[in-house]
């Protein structure tokens, strides 16, 4: 099962990064979104990021031209039906993802593999809403996609070996490293990472440390490249809360209870970098802690 063409649903932060790495690796990419502006912005961002790679001497100008030529966009979800592989990278809400797959199903060729870039939602459950649970799996990229080396491959209960091996071969062609995870809430990375971030927020909530002292402590005391609150802002506080709720609901353990302060920030619309305010205020020349 050789994969040559890839359809990507969603042109946001994850979708454009996924399109970038696939096109650079030689795949034909068709990206869709509900907004033409989003598609245009994604293509422009891919161009800028590729140019940055040229400046760092990672790739050549010729590579950029070839990569951009492989990327096409469409507003019609049905156009992705002839792709060998479809990667859904829409909002982290199960109802949205399920609706996308239901709309896509009538247009798919029989051999198409369906995957989701979900960071926490059950692959088995998503697969069960399709006509091909054996050809469905989790394909979880890390953000930012062009830089991060890991891809989590998550098999649902029905995923067959042929599908897994085809996706494994794709990861190798992308020049990335795969980690195989079982289909339980949060998989591997977020099962470990999100409770750490949530605990950092509890540490702030309980007054043990300030935003600055917590982030400095983890950067210098644990050699993390980014503090947990800074990282939460980068990921998006709404996404962090969504994943914590999935962990709490799916594993029924109080240690996964989302911190009330995280909920409060999300209710305020302070979602991190994407809204210019989270645990830091990004509206000035330098980020300023908001607590």
- Binned at pLDDT 50, 70 and 90, residue 92 comes out as confident
The answer on pLDDT for 1 being more than 80 is: no
Residue-wise pLDDT for 77-91, tens only, equals 999 999 999 999 998
**Residues forming beta bridges with residue 288, ordered by sequence position:** 281
Percentage of the chain surpassing pLDDT 70?
100
Q: Could you give all domains of the chain from N- to C-terminal order, each with its CATH number? A: 5-181 (3.40.50.720), 190-289 (1.10.1040.10)
Closest CA to 97 of 74, 72, 73, 129: 129
CA of 177: how far to CAs of 3, 15, 23, 167, 180, in Å? 18, 19, 18, 12, 10
Report the pLDDT averaged over residues 58-75: 97
Exposure letters 57-95 (e unless 16+ CB within 10 A, then b): eebeeeebeebeebbbbeeebeebbebbbbbbbbebebe
Hey, which residues are catalytic here? 119, 140, 152, 190
Residue-wise pLDDT for 200-209, tens only, equals 999 999 999 9
- Binned at pLDDT 50, 70 and 90, residue 235 comes out as very high
- Binned at pLDDT 50, 70 and 90, residue 120 comes out as confident
29: helix, coil or strand?
A: strand
pLDDT at 79 (0 to 100): 97
């Amino acid at each position: 099962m050789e994969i040559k063409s890839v359809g990507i649903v969603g042109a946001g932060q994850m979708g454009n990064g996924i399109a970038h790495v696939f096109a650079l690796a030689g795949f034909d990419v068709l990206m869709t979104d509900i907004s033409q502006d989003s598609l245009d912005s994604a293509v422009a961002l891919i161009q800028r990021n590729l140019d940055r790679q040229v400046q760092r001497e990672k790739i050549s100008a010729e590579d950029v031209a070839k990569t951009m030529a492989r990327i096409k966009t469409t507003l019609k979800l049905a156009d992705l039906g002839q792709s060998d592989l479809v990667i859904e990278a829409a909002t982290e809400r199960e109802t949205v993802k399920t609706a996308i797959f239901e709309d896509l199903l009538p247009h798919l060729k029989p051999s198409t593999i369906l995957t989701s870039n979900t960071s926490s939602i059950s692959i088995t459950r998503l697969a069960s809403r399709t006509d091909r649970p054996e050809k469905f799996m989790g394909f979880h990229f890390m953000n930012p996609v062009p830089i991060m080396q890991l891809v989590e491959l998550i098999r649902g209960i029905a995923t067959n070996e042929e599908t897994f091996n085809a996706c494994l071969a794709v990861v190798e062609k992308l020049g990335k490293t795969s980690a195989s995870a079982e289909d339980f809430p949060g998989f591997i990375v977020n099962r470990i990472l999100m409770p750490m971030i949530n605990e950092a927020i509890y540490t702030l909530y309980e007054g043990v440390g300030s935003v600055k002292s917590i982030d400095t402590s983890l950067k210098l005391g644990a050699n993390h490249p980014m503090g947990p609150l800074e990282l939460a802002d980068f990921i998006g506080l709404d996404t962090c809360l969504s994943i914590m709720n999935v962990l709490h609901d799916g594993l029924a353990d109080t240690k996964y209870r989302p911190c009330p302060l995280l909920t409060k920030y999300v209710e305020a619309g302070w979602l991190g970098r994407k809204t210019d305010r989270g645990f830091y205020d990004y509206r000035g020349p330098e980020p300023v802690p908001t607590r």
